A and B are shown apart, each in its own frame.
Chain A
Amino acid sequence: MKKATGIVTGIISNLVTVHYDGHVAENEICFIDLGGVKLMAEVIKVTGKNALVQVFESTRGLRQGNSVEFEGHLLEATLGPGLLSSSYDGLQNNLETMEEVFLKRGEYTAPLDHSKIWKFKPLAKAGDIVYAASWLGEVMEGWLSHKIMVPFSFKGEYKVKSVAAAGDYKIDDTIATLINEQGEDISVTMVQKWPVKVAMTGYTSKPRPYRIMETGVRVIDTLNPIAEGGTGFIPGPFGCGKTVLQHAIARQGDAEVIVMAACGERANEVVEIFKEFPELIDPHTGRKLMERTTIICNTSNMPVAAREASVYTAMTICEYYRAMGMKVLLLADSTSRWAQALREMSNRMEELPGADAFPVDLSSIISNFYSRAGIVTLRNGLTGSVTFIGTVSPAGGNLKEPVTESTKKAARCFYALAQSRADSKRYPAVDPLDSYSKYLEYPEIVNYLNDRIDNKWVEKVLQTKNLIRRGKEVSEQINILGDDGVPINYHSAFWKSELIDFVILQQDAFDSVDCVTSMERQEFMLTEVLNICNMNIEFEDYEKCRTFYKDIINLFKQMNYSEFKSEKFNNYYNQIHKYLSNGNN
């Protein structure tokens, strides 16, 4: 098909009207020629012979009459070996290969290195019947066996004619020739393209999640676990530790590949990842964190339209690795900025606004995106998964705003960060009662947890939540009636919830030991804490009750700071038990 061309007829900020000649498609990519500099843009609306396009760059200096060339395809991600450990902008330009300090308008860098040599090993052989996403071969991308797959855009059945012999190849070399149903030869390289806004398929089924993804963060793993292939979101006012919590999950999450999408957030936070991840060690494998991480970064000062692209590009890369049977975790900070980018465009197009001036289809856009996560069964019987956790930055800290409400409908886990907890420095500030994990209601997850951890685990978790709820109720009573105005057992109930709060919920993200807690250790600590809660110790007065729990809390906290089952740890453990037996005398 002949590509369409056009000329610029209107400009409002980054919304440009193009009078086109030929045919254009919704979301098609075009380039506007500004004196030799090509500005990338995406069609977002067509009326008659006018296409409205959102430009991914500053439109300064653009004028009526500038020529436009349409590309005939949607915004695509380039997929192949070399994605891992890379740092991209929202349009998948490689930030590392841009030489200058300042981003240059119209400078687009290749996502993958086309000259790098990869050691290819065939997995398929001549005569095999293959489909989109079938594995043809593999190359070692660092530690990861990167599968070279039949391009996802291929439809129907193909017969392998030949696969390249094991050896050294570049990504553009042909590594296999397939025969399609019409009997034509089609050559396949190591690199393929995929439109980012379309969900990648190529799997046989997408079952309900049935196991959890450990994060090492107690308030998540113990109280409200997220499933592997599940979805969750973290809303919270500024200063409540959203980013610290997300970085903790990125460092510790039990995933093989992690994609971080920094969408419309602070540049210095991304710099922290750039500087620290190449140094920090992955607690699960001992490798450097950067070896399993890909960063998509469109900070708040980078072009607004590319924010939307950044989350889709990130998701596409995740789906690509999922098809290799990988356990992938996607973290996006923050989806509110993406929603705001949609709002800006909708506003410029003079669409009728929904709540808070957001576009009316916000909710469906968000749930569509969240639905791309999931655990899948591949054609070869193996599984792969994409777990997605997004943050939301609610305006004014008010959780009743459109982005939070729309996300609540789409995500299965809700980790509400509470201003009150942040103010009293109880970090992570996840509110234990407002937050929830729908996965705790899945029988398959309950069975998994009870098998994996302890046969009464879920029961214990529910008991813990109940103790926290009870503690909150009585603390309100104590505040109204005064310390003397309530029975002693109110104080006991309050301090039991404080014990859980200080020992289980609160966790020091900056302490090398406390920052990550294994499931075994979480089980051990929760059991110990619940044992004490179940002792029903009698106290003479509330001062004694307070002193008792304060002392116990202090000892438990020291345990949290010590290596699990180390001498120091066991010492504190013994001290607690000694203290308990004395206290009971």
Chain B
Amino acid sequence: MATTNAYQKIYTQLEAITKATVTLKVNGVTNDELATVGGRAAQVVKIKGDSVTLQVFAGTEGIPTNAEVEFKGEPPTLNVSDELAGRFFNAYGEPIDNGPAIEGERRFIGGPSVNPFRREQPSQLIPTGIAGIDLNNTLVSGQKIPFFADPDQPYNQVMAQVALRADVDKIILGGMGLSNDDYLYFKQEFENAGALNKIISFVNTTDQPPVERLLIPDMALTAAEYFAVDKNEKVLVLLTDMTLYADALSIVSNRMDQIPSKDSMPGSLYSDLAKIYEKAVQLPTGGSITIIAVTTLNDGDITHAIPDNTGYITEGQLFLRADTDTGKVIVDPFRSLSRLKQLVINKQTREDHSQVMNTAVRLYADAANAKTKLENGFDLSDYDLRCLDYAKEYSTRLLSIDVNISITEMLDTAWELFGKHFTKAETGLRDTLIEKYWKDKK
């Protein structure tokens, strides 16, 4: 652990300046330590002999070669205590809501990982009221899952909705490259819900330097670990938008002359993202950290390095898609996945959950096939037509993100749709379930 120097020496001779870094001759600084360069926050990223390279978060525009460099002797920290609740901070953990500075224990951000052997298996369902999530892609505490969405989709709204409906003790927002409008939207939503006292926000808006974003997830997760580990609370962390975070990574690695790998991303992208997402954890003492993130896509392309690496790290993904047949934004049942749903469905939900979920999606797939047939000019059978009718109702009444009902109601709605559009045999549901839940057409 770094020790704080009793006196801080000031250096004033820069050897090299790039858009994001400065290099100077200095002895005795430690790796990762913070500094200020001409009053701007910076961090040591490279030491070579007595030549030290600093990454200047706010960029180096206007930094002169005689700028004052002052080393802090330690990596970035956050003061943690219960006072964090209800407050808004910037990427350095400084209040931006005109409130007082936080008094509490100073903790280094980006701390160590949980011993996998000491983890618990995630087991608590997090209901959101959205059937596209609860019914088809159930969330579990301790899970990490991103929304994959094109920039024109209302991902921040859906995420705010999910957060406010979820039964958790704390919600921590990590906003990276958030537009000022979206920042105000979150603030407004949290205030309206009267939930401000359980919300903590770390925000970097688009008008702030992009490299500062790199601190946001670690700040948010250090706060999350305080509440989950020290206070045994259930914490939900919202990270938006991780694509902009990754873009900032690529800027830095580029300035450090690193050889880019796929899509100009740094070769360490996977590890960099994993370090963040793997902070999601179910602790043996009852506390948990659940991460819901947003990864914006370029025209639905999930093969791009950012969503691709994310998909390998997270426990599933939630796809938002505009359904042109109904005009609704839906959670795409085909491309979405919650890897942990098996841990809770039929256990904390009704016995028919898994069968109903699979059958409903299968019939929706049949409808998609019927639609293709229609588009290719083939005749539709009676079954095809019924599938199409069913798909419209399924989309509006269950998949749409504006749905807000309990899981039992979702299951009942699905049974109602089965009874309305199909015969028992066509659903292929298990006999014992049909006897109990089948609803004949009214």
If A17-B48, A340-B267, A396-B262 touch, whether A103 touches B278 (CB-CB below 8 Å) is no
Beta-carbon contacts under 8 Å, B270-326 to A: 270-271, 274-275, 278-279, 281, 283-284, 303-305, 308-309, 311-313, 315-317
Residues from chain B with a CB closer than 8 A to the CB of A341 are 271
- Which segment, of B24-32, B154-162, B178-186, B405-413, faces chain A? B24-32
- Which segment, of A111-119, A294-302, A488-496, faces chain B? A294-302
- Given contact pairs A11-B46, A104-B112, A395-B262, enumerate 16 new A-B contacts (beta carbons under 8 Å): A9-B48, A12-B46, A13-B268, A61-B32, A63-B31, A95-B117, A98-B117, A103-B115, A238-B311, A239-B316, A239-B317, A299-B116, A300-B274, A300-B275, A340-B268, A396-B304
Residues from chain B with a CB closer than 8 A to the CB of A63 are 28-31, 47
A566–B257 Cα gap in the complex (Å)?
67
Contact B268 A344 (CB under 8 A): yes
Instruction: Say whether B365 faces chain A, with CB atoms less than 8 Å apart.
Output: yes
Instruction: Say whether A335 faces chain B, with CB atoms less than 8 Å apart.
Output: no
Contact A271 B116 (CB under 8 A): yes
Output the least CB separation between A266 and chain B (Å): 7
- Which segment, of B57-65, B235-243, B334-342, B386-394, faces chain A? B334-342
Beta-carbon contacts under 8 Å, A225-272 to B: 237-239, 264, 266-268, 270-272
If A63-B29, A301-B279 touch, whether A102 touches B262 (CB-CB below 8 Å) is no
If A300-B271, A300-B274 touch, whether A274 touches B115 (CB-CB below 8 Å) is no
A87–B116 Cα gap in the complex (Å)?
10
Residues from chain A with a CB closer than 8 A to the CB of B315 are 266, 268
Beta-carbon contacts under 8 Å, A327-374 to B: 337, 340-341, 343-344, 347-348, 353, 356-357
- Which segment, of B9-17, B119-127, B167-175, faces chain A? B119-127
Beta-carbon contacts under 8 Å, B134-167 to A: 142-143
A60–B34 Cα gap in the complex (Å)?
11
A341–B1 Cα gap in the complex (Å)?
26
Contact A10 B47 (CB under 8 A): yes
Residues from chain B with a CB closer than 8 A to the CB of A483 are 378
Contact B303 A397 (CB under 8 A): yes
The list of the 3 closest CB pairs from A to B, nearest first, reads A300-B274, A301-B278, A396-B303
Within 8 Å by CB of B112, from A102, A297, A396, lies A102
Instruction: Say whether B118 faces chain A, with CB atoms less than 8 Å apart.
Output: yes
A103–B28 Cα gap in the complex (Å)?
27
Residues from chain B with a CB closer than 8 A to the CB of A275 are 121
Output the least CB separation between A361 and chain B (Å): 16
Contact B28 A356 (CB under 8 A): no
Summarize B's interface: helix, strand, loop or mixed: loop
Give B contacts to A, CB under 8 Å: 1-3, 27-33, 45-50, 74-75, 108, 110-122, 142-143, 229, 258-262, 267-268, 270-271, 274-275, 278-279, 281, 283-284, 303-305, 308-309, 311-313, 315-317, 334-335, 337, 340, 342, 358, 362, 365, 376, 378
**Smallest Cβ-Cβ distance to B108: which chain A residue:** A60
Contact A64 B262 (CB under 8 A): no
If A238-B312, A268-B119, A482-B378 touch, whether A304 touches B268 (CB-CB below 8 Å) is yes
Complex interface bits, A52-67 against B, C-beta within 8 A gives 1, otherwise 0: 0000001111111100
**Smallest Cβ-Cβ distance to B2: which chain A residue:** A61
Output the least CB separation between A489 and chain B (Å): 20
Chain B CB within 10 Å — which of A62, A271, A297 has the most?
A271
Contact B117 A274 (CB under 8 A): yes
Instruction: Say whether A424 faces chain B, with CB atoms less than 8 Å apart.
Output: yes
Beta-carbon contacts under 8 Å, A516-530 to B: none
Within 8 Å by CB of A100, from B49, B115, B267, B278, lies B115
Residues from chain B with a CB closer than 8 A to the CB of A482 are 376, 378
Instruction: Say whether A143 faces chain B, with CB atoms less than 8 Å apart.
Output: no
Within 8 Å by CB of B258, from A98, A272, A347, A397, lies A347
Complex interface bits, A151-168 against B, C-beta within 8 A gives 1, otherwise 0: 000000000000000000
Output the least CB separation between A397 and chain B (Å): 6
**Smallest Cβ-Cβ distance to A14: which chain B residue:** B31
Residues from chain A with a CB closer than 8 A to the CB of B337 are 239
Within 8 Å by CB of B49, from A13, A64, A267, A274, lies A64
If A63-B29, A344-B271, A356-B262 touch, whether A101 touches B118 (CB-CB below 8 Å) is yes
If A98-B117, A102-B115, A267-B119 touch, whether A299 touches B278 (CB-CB below 8 Å) is yes
Contact A103 B334 (CB under 8 A): no
A17–B28 Cα gap in the complex (Å)?
15
Output the least CB separation between B245 and chain A (Å): 16
If A10-B49, A60-B32, A61-B2 touch, whether A98 touches B115 (CB-CB below 8 Å) is yes
Residues from chain A with a CB closer than 8 A to the CB of B378 are 482-483
Contact B48 A270 (CB under 8 A): no
Contact B365 A424 (CB under 8 A): yes
A556–B271 Cα gap in the complex (Å)?
45
Contact A299 B117 (CB under 8 A): no
Contact B270 A96 (CB under 8 A): no
Residues from chain B with a CB closer than 8 A to the CB of A347 are 258-259, 267-268
Within 8 Å by CB of B116, from A60, A297, A348, A353, lies A297
Within 8 Å by CB of B271, from A11, A340, A424, lies A340
Residues from chain A with a CB closer than 8 A to the CB of B258 are 347-348
Residues from chain A with a CB closer than 8 A to the CB of B317 are 239
**Smallest Cβ-Cβ distance to B365: which chain A residue:** A424
Within 8 Å by CB of A11, from B47, B275, B278, lies B47
A302–B279 Cα gap in the complex (Å)?
11
Contact A267 B116 (CB under 8 A): yes
A61–B28 Cα gap in the complex (Å)?
10
A353–B260 Cα gap in the complex (Å)?
10
Contact A61 B271 (CB under 8 A): no
Residues from chain B with a CB closer than 8 A to the CB of A423 are 334-335
Residues from chain A with a CB closer than 8 A to the CB of B46 are 10-12
